[in-house]
Amino acid sequence: MTPTPISHNKMFGGVQATYKHRSDACDCDMKVAVFTPDGVSTDTGDAPVLIWLSGLTCDTTNFQTKAGAQRVAAELGIVLVMPDTSPRGDDVPDTEDRYDFGKGAGFYLDATAKPWAKHYNMESYIRDELTAWISETLPVDIDRMGIFGHSMGGHGALTLHLKNPKLFKTCSAFSPIVAPSQVAWGRGAFEGYLGKDETKWADYDATELLMRGTTDTNILIDQGTDDQFLSEHLRTDIFTAACEKMGQDHTIRMQAGYDHSYFFIATFIEDHLRHHATRL
């Protein structure tokens, strides 16, 4: 994963950069954005690092331009890594009539159904390739790594943490899809990427994964009560019940009047960064 620089901008004393690199897992070129605070030493390489996973229709630009996370990350000395939401390129299959499947909608899983299996391997990409590049290239301590995300990306953050708690030691999410096997967004994506055998879907369902076993971190979730997708696609109540049943340490906050937008994320992003920093 030798990166090619695309952009490089000074921000809050640090550097906001975007790179392009070849991914074997996704069999295409991928982009990833990185914010490195001023003062993070390349010599010691001991900074904590957070991977942000964005939601449906997003790419590497949304979080870095809308969330306002860099100011607090600069204060805390946290490196932020923001990968794309799916494979891209002319050879990558897509759908013309759906925003919730195909490009921009990788769902952070490894597809097994054709023609998606060749490229749509976002779980392997994040877990294996991206973390290896982070460890080898960035001035961070890979043992101080957390993961968080929004919506589809919140789903990805939860599943990647629950399956790899020693790798992604902290976890939080905004408006996550917590039970994709039970809601329209998830069922549509899972059937397309994984086939109709629903027993295979559980490996990418945060609620099902939690029922297999808990982790020793506190999972923070913020969910707006005025989110237009809450009752049909997100169903925070299902995951809350699972946490309580299994004894998973959790902080789930229903934020009155907030919706699904980046205005919501920007309002509470500082809380999430400090949540991770305290534990990393």
- In degrees and rounded to multiples of 5, residue 179 shows phi and psi of -140, 65
Kindly report the length of the chain.
280
231 annotated active-site = no
Catalytic-role residue among 84, 110, 205, 227: 227
- Please identify which of the residues 260, 272, 275, 276 carries the catalytic annotation: 260
Which among 23, 54, 151, 175 is annotated as catalytic?
151
Instruction: Please work out, in degrees rounded to the nearest 5, the angle formed at the alpha carbon of residue 227 by the alpha carbons of 221 and 228.
Output: 140
Sequence-separated (6 or more) residues with CB below 8 Å from residue 244: none
227 is catalytic: yes
Spatial separation of the C-alpha atoms in residues 172 and 158, rounded to whole Å: 7
Q: How many CB atoms lie within 10 A of CB 247?
A: 8
Active site residue 7: no
Euclidean distance between CA atoms 125 and 248, whole angstroms? 27
156-170 as b/e, with b when 16 or more CB fall inside 10 Å? Answer: bbbbbbbbbbeebbb
Residues designated catalytic: 151, 227, 260
